[in-house]
Each structure stands twice: as C-alpha cells, then as structure tokens.
Structure 1
Amino acid sequence: MLRVENLAKSFEGEVRRRRAKTGNGTDRVFAVNGISFDVREGEMFTLLGPSGCGKTTTLRSIAGLEHPDAGVIEVDGRVLFEGRDGRKPRSVPANERGLGMVFQSYAIWPHMSVFANVAFPLQVKRRGARPSKTKIADQVHRVLNTMELDDFASRPATKLSGGQQQRLALARALVVEPSLLLLDEPLSNLDAKLRESLRYELKRLQRDLGITSVYVTHDQTEALVLSTTVAVMKHGNIIQLGRPREIYENPNSRFVAEFIGTTNMLTATVEAKAGDRYTVLTVDGPLALDSAVDIAPNRDVVVSIRPEAVEIDVDSRASEVPNEWKGTVVNRAFLGEAVEHVIRVGEHEIRARGNPSVSIQPGTDVFVRMDPAKLTLVPVD
C-alpha cells in the first residue's frame, strides 16, 4: 500500500551528530537517514521515538510538506516522490496526493461551524473533481455520524470539548476518503484520562473503517495500544521494526528496551550457551535465560527484565526454580492496578510490579525470582 525506500532528508546547520559534509563544504543535519519500510493495506503503522529522531519529518515527507533529498514514496503503486542521485526529483504536490492528515494542533478553523470544517476539503477541490452540494452534505453527515458529531453540526468548532475537536479533525481528514491517513501526535494535547479513552476510540475507528494509517508519537503506551506495526526511530534511523508485543518482549538494543516501557537493565557476561538456554554472570550472581539471539561466550551483554516478570516472596523456593536472589525491599508504590516494589539485591535495585493485594513493608527481606523465559538478552550497543 505505502512503500518508502531509502528516504533521506537533511537540513543545513551545526550539529554534533549525524553531520556530513556536502560537496560545497556545508554541514547538513540528516533528520531522516535513508530509511525504508512498507505499510500494508488496513494497517496502523506507528513511527515511535524521542523528539528529534526524524519521525515527523518522515510523515511530512509522505504528506508532501517536506521535500526529501532522496528516496521513493509510493502509495498504491502511484509514485508521489522519487529522487535519485544524478536525476531531477519528481514530486506530486501535497494538494494532489489525496492523503488525509491530522495535525498535533488539529488546525481547526475557529470561524467555521463543525459542518463547515468538515465540508471545506470537498468544497475546495478542483471544479471537475468537486462533488455536488447534495453529495458534499451527504458525505459530511455520514462522517460526522461515524464520529458521533452529527448533533453538533451547526455548533461553532471552538465550542467543542478537546475530545470532540480531536474527532472533528479526524472527520475532516476522512471526508475526502483518503487512500492513506497520516496522524501527527493527535492526542498529545489532551489530558491523560481523555487521551487514554480516545486511544481505544481511534483504534476502533481505524479497525472498523479499515483505514491505512501512519501514526507518529513519542508515547510508548500509545504506540503499543494502537499499532499493528511499530518502527522505533533514533537519530534519523529505524532501530527496530516489528509487532508491538515483539518489540516490547524482544528489544534488539538497549535503547529500545529502555525506551519502550520500564525495565531493569543488568550488565552481564555470557558464561555458557546450550541451544537457546544461556547462563550469564552478573556482579550479584548467575542468571539463566532463554534467547534466540546468537551471542558467543565471554561476550558482554545486557539482560532486560520487565518489572512484571519479577516475582517476590518472603519464602525461598530456590530448590524448585532458577534465578532466585535474596534482597531487601527499599521502597514501594501503589499504582492502582498494581503495586511496584523496589528491591535492593547486592549492587542492583530491581523493580517488581505485581498484584495490588501483595504489598510488602520496606525493610523486609524477600526473595526475588525471575522466569528464564521472560528475560531478554540484549547485545551491548
């Protein structure tokens, strides 16, 4: 559906990283550094990463709001941009790409009603492609009904709540029936509770309508909830590409492990390997874990342990299970759906998150257990 190949975009300026000399000696900042990915029809594809990683520049390049240095952008077999060395780039103007876009600020026209905001993209089409007034009204009401905004059609757009404005921006993008919907952090301006409820609403709409979407966010939870596929970006490059569960449970680098959710990171050295079962040595003792990653003995590694994979108990079961260490609870926090304990084990502090019915007083000696199947072996960057 969407194909992005070797996309690159640079800007002139001073920078400490990603700097390259052009032929005229000018320093250029590579916001996007030759990335490639495919988005299948009906998929919610998310570009995830910290500020400045290149995710919004990628989205704006697809939309036609940025002019890339090189690469190919193709939607449904139609080339929207192609730039190769030694050739003059060809680029379809943004207003002719037929894509829908929802901006971070929503960009709602404050002087227009809800109906007029949604109708505007249809009304400004070229004369030959512009629908009749009757058809425009039908399309607008159909989309407003889908967004549960039909009762507010005559209301000024500024009189809507934050969640309703977000749905209005989405309706305006959908009314043109785009082949591809682009969303640039559309929930970031909402309060936490509303943002959480709208994540599921957006996921439902995307699934029910079958819209192919590219979503940009720096919110890890948002990416995990919404996405079919996630591309984690850093310094203009895609570091890992995969399903949300795959990236969460099997990060391919320390950066991904630490960026996606909360994790305990223990440095270690590979002692032995038998099939997929590894034994690694940390400063506080050995750990057994299962991993399909191929790393030779004596190599330095990092073990990623999610807090929910750590079990704590006041009684030992060392004779029955592997990976049991003794420690002391130094802190705890009630999170509503869980209780998080911080346990001092030798030189490490390990976070454990579990059932809220289990709450252990700080200062209590406990035993920490870690299931080998739930530990992740990460090569040292």
Structure 2
Amino acid sequence: MSIEIKHVSKSFGSFEALKDIQLTIQDGEFVAILGPSGCGKTTLLRILAGFEQPTSGEVRMEGRVVAGEHTLLPPEKRRIGMVFQSFALWPHMNVTEHIRFPIRTHKATPAHIKSQEEERIRQILELTGLSHLAARMPHELSGGQKQRVAIARALAPEPSLLLMDEPLSSLDAMLRMDMRREIQQVHRRTRSAIVYVTHDQGEALAMADRIVVMKDGRIEQAGTPQDIYLRPETEFVAKFVSKSNLVQGSWSGNLFTPEGSNTAWNGDGIADYFKASGLYPVRPDQFLLQPDGTEGIPGEVVNVQFQGKEFHYDIRSDERNWEVISPVALRLHEKVRLNLADSAEPLGA
C-alpha cells in the first residue's frame, strides 16, 4: 500500500500537535517515526489508523483520500493492522482465538482468507513462532510471547499497512533485541508496509528502511538510517540520533578549526546548517584520544565507564564536556588531546 501524507496538520484546541507534515510511504517500505515524547509521532500514527482526523491536509492510501478536514474513513474500512504498546490482549481468548477474531470481524479481510480461515491461522502461528502456544491463554505467556500474539493478530487479515506504536518499550533489553529480529523477519516474509513509532534510536536504526525524525510536530529530517546517523542536517538530529558533540569553531571553506585547538578538520559531508552556525558534529566514536601536548582539543578525563570492548569517557575542556567512546584505557584526571578520526595517530598506536 502506498501512502501520501499531504500538508497534514492537527490541533487539539490551541495546541498544534502536527505542523504541515508531508511524507510518502512506498508499498512494502519499513518507515520508523522517531522522536522524543510529545513530538507528534503517535498523533501521526493515529491519523494513519483512522483514530484521529487532520485539522487540515489529507492522507491518501492507494490514491484514495482516507482522511482530511472533511473526510475520515474509519479504521475497520482500511486494510491496516495495529500493534499497541500495551499488547492489548483479551484475557478470555487463547492465542488461536486472538488470530481468528480479526479474520472474521475485519471488513477488509480478503475473501480468500475468510474462506480458508484455519489454513490462515496455521500460517500465522508458524510465521510468528506461536504454533506450540496455540492453546495458551494470555496469562500463561511471557512478555515476548504476548507481543508476538499482538503481531500475529494484526497480521491475520493480511493488512497492506502495519502500524506499530512503540511495541517493544515494555520489554526488557534482551527481549527487545529478540523482538527486533522477529519484526524484521515478519516484514521480509509479508512485505506489508510498516510504520513503526519509537523514541529508541537503536530500534529505528536497526530495523527501518527509512527514518523520519520528528521534533515539535514537524519533520526534522527523513532518510535512510545511514543518512540520518552519518549525515545529520540539523542540530537536533545530530544530538538525538547519533549523540554528536557539537564542537564550536570557525570554518574556512571546507576546513574547520575547533576553538582552542591547533588542528583543522575536513568538512566533507557536513551539512550547510553546521557550517553557517560555526559548528562541527562529532559522534563519540569519531573522537581520537591522543597524548597531551599533541595537536587537538586539550582536555581532562573526568569520568570513565567500562563497557567491555570499549570505554565511555567524559572529557572536560574548559567549561565544555565531550562524550568519547574509545577502546583505549585511560586513568581518571589524565590529560589528553581530542582530534578527529583519520586526522592523526590515536593514543596507544
């Protein structure tokens, strides 16, 4: 299902939750809507689902207007499936009954699925790894199993669009990693379009074909995970997605000189916004730690966290703190110089 969101805005009283959203989602595409709480991502998802009506603008699915200022096609008439953050399982239904329910009740369920209900249930149980749990009740399932049931229920009527509202946020870290793989597998096998709302950068980067970063009801940047992470276009995207340090300094053509340093960095791939603002975004893993007295930004180690294969450092330079990730082991209060990767030899080389 192809989706066009054209100049969509949504207000709740005097509060404008969405501001002139324009976005196209291709058939079979996995799009993650990423942003902090209150940025408008869930409101956008609810408009796609048919739970909310735009104040202005319109939403088209397969060329048909399904939502607009004077139009609202209800959820049951759209070929969509929805997975909620809270699982929303019915306590009186077992796993099989959860899958059967939308096949029988969803008005958009294709006729070939309705006529082969038991075969469809078997396929979905197998697809989601729930065959051995078909007769279990929700209270007999783990958190990860409950989430698979929620996904299975959403997939049962063969939706063209699967909407997922922070579906992994209530799971622990290990289960979240497992469920990421499950969702990716479901997407590869079904090729339904997926719109996945999350505030977790790792989830979006790991799973999506394209990421839409939102802030204050607007789209800040949209692109592939690589584009968003490696080539941020705004200060918010740089800090929110890749946790970049924003180094102040001066630009001369394509060369950047950090404040208080005796080095220059190449600016290939740095967005015009940063050049106009006298900034250079540096991810924590891009910094090189060098011995004191060499080129670079002078600093002192003020905090160390050991993370197995690497160390996470807070480096203080004058009144600024820089976040640095490095395999190099340093002592607390050790003096160092910070440089950009590929610009000098690293400490300990």
Give the alignment's TM-score, normalised by structure 1: 0.83
User: What corresponds to 1:99 in structure 2?
Assistant: 80
Instruction: Say whether the 8 Å CA contact 1:124–1:130 is kept in structure 2.
Output: no
Q: What is aligned with 1:365?
A: 335
> Within 2, Cα distance between the matches of 1:267 and 1:368?
13
Do the aligned partners of 1:4 and 1:38 also contact (CA within 8 Å) in 2?
A: yes
Give the C-alpha shift of residue 151 in structure 1.
1.0
| Aligned mate of 1:325, from 297, 302, 323 | 297
2:218 maps to 1:232: no
Residue of structure 1 in register with 2:94 after alignment:
113
Q: How many Å separate the matches in 2 of 1:296 and 1:54?
A: 26
2-structure distance, mates of 1:201, 1:31: 32
Contact 1:103 1:184 (C-alpha < 8 Å) held by counterparts: yes
> What one-letter code is carried by the residue in structure 2 that aligns with 1:175?
A
Shift of 1:183: 0.5
1:343-358 equivalent positions in 2, closer than 5 A? 343-355=315-327, 358=328
Which residue does the alignment assign to 2:291? 314
Whether the 8 Å contact between 1:284 and 1:346 is mirrored in structure 2 is no
Identify if the C-alpha distance between structure 1 residues 315 and 181 changes in structure 2 by more than 3 Å, giving closer, same or farther: same
User: RMSD of the TM alignment (CA)?
Assistant: 2.4
Q: Tell me, what secondary structure is at the counterpart of 2:154?
A: helix
**Contact 1:123–1:130 at 8 Å: present in 2 too?**
no
Deviations 1:110-150 (A, max 9, x none): 11010001100112245996678771111111101110101
Q: Mark the CA change 1:125 to 1:248 in structure 2 (over 3 Å): closer, same or farther.
A: closer
1:372 offset after TM fit, Å?
A: 6.9
Cα separation, partners in 2 of 1:132 and 1:33, compared to 1, 3 Å: closer
Q: 1:245 and 2:226 equivalent? A: yes
Match of 2:347 in 1: none
Residue 260 of structure 1 aligns to a residue whose secondary structure is helix
Structure 1: give runs of 5+ residues left out of the alignment.
13-27, 84-88, 319-323, 374-381
1:44 maps to which of 30, 49, 66: 30
What amino acid does structure 1 have at the position aligned with 2:28?
G
Q: State the shift of 1:257 in Å.
A: 1.2
Unaligned 5+ residue runs, structure 2? 344-349
* 2:259 pairs with 1:282: yes
Amino acid at match of 1:301: G
- Separation (CA, whole Å) in 1 of partners of 2:278 and 2:51: 42
1:9 Cα deviation after fit? 1.1
8 Å Cα contact 2:260/2:297 also seen in 1? no
1:206: which partner in 2? 187
Counterpart mapping for 1:21-32 below 5 A: 28-32=14-18
**Alpha-carbon distance, 1:3 to partner:** 1.0
1:3 maps to amino acid: E
In 2, Cα distance between the equivalents of 1:309 and 1:343?
Answer: 14
Q: In structure 1, how many angstroms separate the alpha carbons of the residues matched to 2:109 and 2:33?
A: 36
Q: Is 2:16 the partner of 1:9?
A: no
Distance in 1, Cα, partners of 2:206 & 2:308: 19
How many residue pairs end up in the alignment? 341
- For the pair 1:301 / 2:278, whether they are aligned, the reply is yes
- SS state of the match for residue 129, structure 2? coil
1:320-340 C-alpha deviation (Å, 9 max, x unpaired): xxxx33433222111123211
SS in 2 for 1:246: helix
AA at the equivalent of 2:279: V
SS at match of 2:257: strand
Q: Which has the higher helix share?
A: 2
Classify 1:296/1:153 alpha carbon distance in 2 versus 1 (closer, same or farther; 3 Å): closer
Contact 1:221 / 1:261 at 8 angstroms: preserved in 2?
no
Bigger mean CA deviation after superposition, 162-171 or 341-350: 341-350
Aligned-pair identity in percent equals: 35
- 2:8–2:21 CA contact under 8 A, matched in 1: yes
Pairing 1:137–2:118 present: yes
**Aligned pair in 2 of structure 1 residues 220, 170: CA closer, same or farther (>3 Å)?**
same
Partner residue in 1 for 2:250: 269
Which segment drifts farther, 287-296 or 227-236? 287-296
Classify 1:262/1:190 alpha carbon distance in 2 versus 1 (closer, same or farther; 3 Å). Answer: same
C-alpha distance in 1 between matches for 2:44 and 2:155:
21
- Displacement of 1:369 in angstroms is 2.1
Structure 2 matches for 1:148-167, cutoff 5 A? 148-167=129-148
The letter of the residue matching 2:48 is: I
